[in-house]
Structure formats: structure tokens, C-alpha cells
């Protein structure tokens, strides 16, 4: 029989809840002060607590904090007459399981208690996975044991011993950038820079100077000589993301560089040299772009000498369980959560899903599940909600389901979970710190 403790200074509430909860088959303890509540809590170790915030001797939020310090898992449901957002957020941040407002609606209490009982039951039935621990995981690990991934590893091994240029092709989220980083880290020039340049993120007029640098006075506003990405890459790697977006004119200059290994800065005459390795990434088929006349054939042949085709997740479903465990380890550490169990059926759910966003989408799903998680089990219900919401996005068309709305909401939750540590949040969200800052500004997200 599950034990439940109710802490409230209103005796009528204690009596009503005691009667109601006993009828539900729970062993009920009651306390009318914070101190008495804490004493019973330590002695009886109830699995569920219903805790009022305004108590005569203590603030319920402090009682919650003391209870959370104990190492037996309790689901603590807060109740209060305060309707303010700050208290709710503070309670959730301190680990409350749920939050109910007064006047008490008995249906709401029942729902919260039932949910707690059911999660406790799942928790008890589900074994902890030995493979999940709260230890730092290697951020440059490429997870996969499928044949497709084993072939990718072989190709990476081959490429690491030379400076040959590499073309990485594959759908969005298949791990092109990660692969580029790992190739660099395993090359003999791993201590030289790894520079990322997103060909789609810079306006056409600035692309040339971003890539090749410019001399002082080369154009209006060029008040000092600036190095381009090629120069910054030195003897290391230049990762050219979204190479298909490069305008034809710049493609020509890049081709010239690849042929002679020489270039000039914009507005300059000095011939500069660089032996950096180019790793280019593309999520469309580059040869189609060549056929359409949108990509220079010569450049394509230069780049494709060593092509690695990243498989979409649907072609390596057997890797999903490994990826899930990897992300649980990684995200637990980043969010400070302790999800070490996976409810029966979750893996099947994940394997059966159509991952249009590939590994990135899978990782984001696990992040979303852990941000909203209040225990140590990855629950089928939670995954179901996330997958349903994500799947319904394009068809719903309702304002609250717009991508912008979901993005804003997700950024907000992540920041709040991480106490507004923006650099940690940017890592968890998989975006750069400046991008996160610009999104916070764009969506007007403020700490509450
Ligand atoms: N095999 C893998 N093992 C572990 N993590 C992976 C793997 N593949 C991708 N990831 C993770 O998935 C996310 C997306 O990967 P990445 O940015 O490399 O994809 P991409 O192919 O460059 O996508 P896009 O085309 O959208 O830029 C990253 O967080 C990356 O670490
Ligand atoms: Mg990428």
C-alpha cells in the first residue's frame, strides 16, 4: 500500500483529503505544520506528499527543498492559494511533481495522485540500465554499430591519414558536422584549427570576404585588414557547411583555390597559400545541382574525390537503442536529471517513428522528454505526447502549434531548467550562444 503524507494547516482540508485518499486505498499521514510534516516524512518515508505552501511555521517551498534532499524517491504535489507564476516555477524547479491551486478540486487531486502512483509503479517495475550513468560522455562519439555505420567508420579511418578533401552528403541531422569534427580530431593535424563556415548563413555580398578575407579599404566599411576562414583554418580543417548554397561566382574562386592552393584577400594583391583540408557538407544531391547548372561541375569533381554518404536513421534502425542510451547519458549530465530507466515499450515506439530530422530529431525528443520529466524513468506517455505534438505540427496550423511558438516555449523551458545558464542552454539546444541570444531577443524571453 502506497504511503501518502498531507501537510496543510487547514484541518478541514486534512480531514477531507484523509478520507478521500484512504478510500482510494492509500495509507495516509497528516501534519498541520511544516516541522511536523518533515518529522513524519523522515520517519515514514511516504512515496507521495501533498504539501501546502503557506504553513504557520515554515514556507512550504523550504519544506519541499528539505524533502528533496532525502534520497528516497517521493512525488511531492504542492497546493496553494497563491496563483502567481513565480511560486509555481520555483516549486517546479525545486523538484515538485505537480502543483494544484486552492480551492481544491478533488478531481485534480485525484489525477495528480493517480499519476504519481502509476509512475511509482512503473519505476518499481523498470530496472535501471547499467549503461546509463551520470558520467561525462564523449561529445565526439559517433554512435552506431549497424553495417552502414561500420562502413562510415572505415571510410573515416581511410581519410584521416591524408589531407584529401571530403564531401559529406546526407539528409539533415544525420551527423555530417559531427563526422567532420571527428575526422579532424583523428587527423595528424588535429592540433590545428577546425573552422566552420555555413555557406547559407552569410549574405552573398559578404561571402567572398568571409571566406577569403579582405584588405583594409577593399569596400565601404572595411576599416581594417581581416582574415578569412581559409586563412583562419591554417593547416587545419575548413568545414564548408551547406556548400550547395555557395553562389556560382564564389564557387569559381573556391575552385581556383583548390586547384592552386593559392588565393588573394578581397581587394588585395598578395598571393596567400593554405594547405587546409576542405570538408564540405550538403543535404541535397550535389550532382543534381550540377545537372541543373547551379553547381560548377569542376568544383563538384574536386570535392567528391572522397564522398561519404551519411545514412538516414530509417536505414539503421538497429542503432536507435544505442543512440537513446547515449543521449540519456549526455542530457542527464547537461540537465542534472537522473533518468536511468526506460519504460517497456519506449524503444519500440522510437524505432517505429519516422525520423524526418534523423539523429537530431531523436536527440531533441530525448531533450524534450527530460526537460518535462519528474522522475527517473523515460515514460511512454511523455514520448507519445512529444511525438504526437511534433508530428501534428505541419497539419495543425494553429497558432500555438507554430514552429516559432514551439521553439520559443522549448527555449524558455530549457533556460528555466538550467537557471538561465545561457552557455549550457545553447549546448543543450544545439545552437551557438549568439544564435541563442538572438532568439531570446526575437521572442522576448525573460526570466520569470
Ligand atoms: N551517430 C551519431 N552519434 C551520436 N550523435 C549523433 C550522431 N549523428 C548525429 N548526432 C548528433 O545529432 C545532432 C545533429 O548532427 P549534425 O549537426 O552533425 O547533423 P548534420 O548532418 O550536420 O545536420 P544538418 O544537415 O541539419 O546541418 C548533433 O547533436 C550530433 O551530435
Ligand atoms: Mg550540419
DSSP 284-337: S-HHHHHHTTSS-HHHHHHHTTSEEEPPPGGG-GGGHHHHHHHHHHHHHHHHT-
Residue of 177, 362, 431 to test ligand 1 pocket, by largest number of atoms within 8 Å of CB: 177
Whole-prediction pTM: 0.80
Band (396; pLDDT cuts 50, 70, 90): very low
CB 169 within 8 A of CB 354: no
Neighbours of 197 (CB within 10 A): 23
115 CB within 6 A, ligand 1: no
pLDDT of residue 397: 38
CATH of 147-310, one of 3.30.70.3270, 3.40.50.620, 3.40.50.300, 2.60.40.420: 3.40.50.300
CB 65 within 8 A of CB 30: no
| Ligand 1 nearest atom to the CA of residue 171, by list position | 25
Tens digit of each residue's pLDDT (9 = 90 or more) over 253-288 = 999 999 999 999 999 999 999 999 999 999 988 999
pLDDT of residue 424: 84
Whether 399 shows a pLDDT value over 90: the answer reads no
CATH of 315-442, one of 1.10.357.10, 3.40.50.300, 1.10.8.60, 3.40.710.10: 1.10.8.60
Mean pLDDT across 381-395: 76
Task: Give 141's DSSP letter.
Answer: -
Distance CA 325, CA 244 (A): 34
If one compares 19 and 405, the residue with the highest pLDDT of the two is 19
Distance CA 446, CA 75 (A): 29
CA angle 55, 59, 64 (to 5 degrees): 105
If one compares 136 and 172, the residue with the highest pLDDT of the two is 172
Tens digit of each residue's pLDDT (9 = 90 or more) over 200-210 = 887 877 899 99
Tens digit of each residue's pLDDT (9 = 90 or more) over 31-52 = 999 999 999 999 999 999 999 9
363 CB within 6 A, ligand 1: yes
Whether 402 shows a pLDDT value over 70: the answer reads no
177 CB within 6 A, ligand 1: yes
CB-based neighbours (< 5 A) of ligand 2, an ion: 177
| Ligand 1 nearest atom to the CA of residue 178, by list position | 18
Mean pLDDT of the chain: 90
Residue of 147, 359, 435 to test ligand 1 pocket, by largest number of atoms within 8 Å of CB: 359
In the chain, ranges of CATH 3.40.50.300 domains: 147-310
334 CB within 6 A, ligand 1: no
pLDDT of residue 392: 60
pLDDT of residue 376: 86
pLDDT of residue 395: 38
CATH architecture of 3-125: 3-Layer(aba) Sandwich (3.40)
pLDDT of residue 398: 44
In the chain, ranges of CATH 1.10.8.60 domains: 315-442
In the chain, ranges of CATH 3.40.50.2300 domains: 3-125
Band (388; pLDDT cuts 50, 70, 90): confident
Mean pLDDT across 366-371: 89
Distance CA 201, CA 249 (A): 17
Amino acid at each position: 500500500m502506497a504511503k501518502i503524507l498531507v501537510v496543510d494547516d487547514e484541518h478541514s482540508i486534512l480531514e477531507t483529503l484523509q478520507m478521500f485518499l484512504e478510500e482510494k486505498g492509500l495509507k495516509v499521514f497528516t501534519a498541520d505544520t511544516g516541522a511536523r510534516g518533515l518529522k513524519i516524512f523522515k520517519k515514514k518515508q511516504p512515496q507521495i506528499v501533498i504539501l501546502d505552501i503557506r504553513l504557520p511555521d515554515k514556507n512550504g517551498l523550504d519544506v519541499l527543498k528539505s524533502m528533496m534532499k532525502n534520497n528516497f524517491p517521493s512525488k511531492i504535489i504542492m497546493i496553494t492559494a497563491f496563483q502567481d507564476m513565480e511560486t509555481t516555477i520555483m516549486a517546479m524547479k525545486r523538484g515538485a511533481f505537480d502543483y494544484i491551486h486552492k480551492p481544491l478540486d478533488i478531481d485534480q487531486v485525484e489525477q495528480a495522485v493517480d499519476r504519481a502512483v502509476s509512475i511509482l509503479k512503473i519505476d518499481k517495475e523498470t530496472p535501471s540500465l547499467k549503461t546509463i550513468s551520470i558520467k561525462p560522455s564523449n561529445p565526439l562519439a559517433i554512435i552506431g554499430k549497424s553495417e552502414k555505420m561500420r562502413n562510415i567508420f572505415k571510410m573515416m579511418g581511410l581519410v584521416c591519414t591524408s589531407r584529401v578533401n571530403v564531401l559529406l552528403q546526407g539528409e539533415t541531422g544525420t551527423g555530417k558536422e559531427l563526422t567532420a569534427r571527428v575526422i579532424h580530431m583523428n587527423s595528424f593535424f588535429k592540433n590545428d584549427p577546425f573552422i566552420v563556415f555555413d555557406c547559407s548563413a552569410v549574405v552573398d555580398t559578404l561571402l567572398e570576404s568571409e571566406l577569403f578575407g579582405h584588405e583594409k579599404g577593399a569596400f565601404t566599411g572595411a576599416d581594417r585588414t581581416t582574415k578569412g576562414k581559409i586563412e583562419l583554418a591554417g593547416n587545419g580543417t575548413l568545414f564548408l557547411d551547406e556548400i550547395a548554397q555557395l553562389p556560382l561566382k564564389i564557387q569559381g574562386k573556391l575552385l581556383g583555390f583548390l586547384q592552386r592552393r593559392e588565393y588573394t584577400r578581397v581587394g588585395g594583391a598578395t598571393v596567400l597559400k593554405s594547405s587546409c583540408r576542405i570538408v564540405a557538407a550538403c543535404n541535397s544531391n550535389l550532382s543534381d545541382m550540377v545537372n541543373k547548372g547551379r553547381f560548377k561541375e569542376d568544383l563538384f569533381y574536386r570535392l567528391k574525390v572522397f564522398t561519404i554518404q551519411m545514412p538516414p536513421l530509417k536505414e539503421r534502425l538497429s542503432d536507435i537503442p544505442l543512440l537513446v542510451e547515449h543521449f540519456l547519458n549526455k542530457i542527464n549530465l547537461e540537465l542534472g536529471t537522473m533518468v536511468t530507466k526506460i519504460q517497456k515499450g519506449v524503444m519500440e515506439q522510437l524505432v517505429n517513428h519516422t525520423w524526418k530530422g534523423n539523429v537530431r530529431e531523436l536527440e531533441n525528443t530525448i531533450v524534450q522528454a527530460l526537460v518535462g520529466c519528474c522522475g527517473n524513468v523515460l515514460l511512454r506517455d511523455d514520448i507519445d505526447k512529444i511525438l504526437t505534438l511534433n508530428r501534428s505540427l505541419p497539419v495543425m496550423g494553429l497558432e500555438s502549434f507554430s514552429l516559432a511558438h514551439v521553439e520559443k516555449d522549448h527555449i524558455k523551458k530549457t533556460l528555466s531548467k538550467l537557471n538561465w545558464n545561457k552557455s549550457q542552454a545553447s549546448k543543450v539546444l544545439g545552437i551557438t550562444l549568439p544564435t541563442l541570444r538572438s532568439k531570446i531577443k526575437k521572442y522576448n524571453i525573460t526570466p520569470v
